[in-house]
Amino acid sequence: MAEQPQGIANKGFGRLTPPPKPNAESSFTISPPPSPTSTSSERALKLIEQLQEKTELGKLTWTTGFEDGQFKVVLPRGELAFVAQVKGNVRRFLVLDERQEVILEETITDDEALDEQLLSAKDRVFDAIGKLQALARVRALQVHEKLAKAEKLLAAI
């Protein structure tokens, strides 16, 4: 049986208390939310296309995720992470913020993508996720490098 969840901040692992700081005035600004001119599918599509472009240029380092067919890329300073997944007939695209909260999620099945009523944005996102996942897979698994090595190894036999 697992222990109950433990917090490291309040369990007395030998933490020391630093001297108190003088009060600092906090200031913050409130930015207006972006105008809702596009649907989440359109936003996803735009991001996926940008990711495809940067991936083709070799500017993003994709690695394997956890689930089958899942690949992830974390931006250099960790502000955002993107996940592309193709699992069976489901394609998924996630955008996570620096706290790993999902700020955009598109999950589309091939049934939805083929539905005439939903065609357009959903359909394009479905195709775009597939293309991005294929690119990410090639990069994360270093497919080209390994196949080139395979050719050399076979040639040397």
User: How many residues line the site for another protein (CB under 8 A)?
Assistant: 32
- 74 is an interface residue for another protein by CB under 8 A: yes
Point out which span in 9-17, 22-30, 120-128, 143-151 binds another protein (CB under 8 A).
Answer: 9-17
Q: Are 91 and 85 in contact (CB under 8 A)?
A: yes
The enclosing H or E element of 105 equals: strand 102-109
Point out which span in 12-20, 33-41, 129-137, 145-153 binds another protein (CB under 8 A).
Answer: 12-20
Residue choice 47, 48, 60, 72 for contact with another protein (CB under 8 A): 72
Residue choice 65, 132, 133, 139 for contact with another protein (CB under 8 A): 65
Dihedral angle sign, alpha carbons of residues 104, 107, 112, 113 = positive
Q: Please name the amino acid found at residue 123.
A: D
